[in-house]
Amino acid sequence: MHAATAKWYDRRDSVFVEFCVEDSKEVKVKFDKSKFEFSCASGTENTKHHNEVELFGDIDPKESRHRRTDRSVLCCLKKAEPGKSWPRLTKDKAKCNWLSVDFNNWKDWEDDSEEDLSSFDKFSEMMNSMGGDDLPDLDGAEEEHDSADSDDEKMPDLE
């Protein structure tokens, strides 16, 4: 019995946990108010996987779902308290070696208000609002003497 490798991410009203198990069979997912259980068999050797997670917050078991694909099983845990951020998936702070954060899907949704934007968001927003039209046309300024620009010379062929 192995714990399946999983990635998770937090959203405003749900927490998503993706168990990275290829060719899973006999998938069982049991949702409880404060924990959930995952088990399946996978591969040609029918490797048994089992994970039990004591959750950081409560979920709504009736509204929680899972979906199996050939590559993984994605579980959507519906939060009992939407809008409450989960800093971690598990109740305990102890690190689970089978669990990691899904950074591709992670989003700090609770910082949606204006003053809480991270400095990067402020910077990219500033860049977007500047637009290209009101910037001076730098290309045109150099056209008269681009023959002196050594970057445009043909590079010698590499031997």
- pLDDT tens digits, 18-32: 999 999 999 999 999
Q: How does the average pLDDT of the chain come out, rounded?
A: 83
Q: Distance between the two ends of the chain, CA-based, in angstroms? A: 58
- In CATH, the number for domain 6-83 is 2.60.40.790
Task: Name which residue leads in pLDDT, 112 or 64.
Answer: 64
Q: What are phi and psi of 75, to 5 degrees?
A: -110, 130
Closest CA to 17 of 86, 77, 57: 77
Comparing 14-28, 29-43, 66-80, 93-107, which segment has the lowest mean pLDDT? 93-107
What tokens were used for 62?
């009736």
Identify the H or E element spanning 74.
strand 73-78
Sequence-ordered alpha helix ranges (H) in 95-141 = 119-130, 138-141
The residues that bridge with 68 in the sheet, in sequence order, are 73
Q: How many residues does the chain have?
A: 159
pTM of the model: 0.68
Q: Tell me, what's the pLDDT at 108?
A: 75
Helices (H) and strands (E) in the chain, counts: 2, 8
Query: Which residue, chain included where needed, has tokens 């305990």?
Result: 92
Q: Is the pLDDT of residue 116 over 50?
A: no
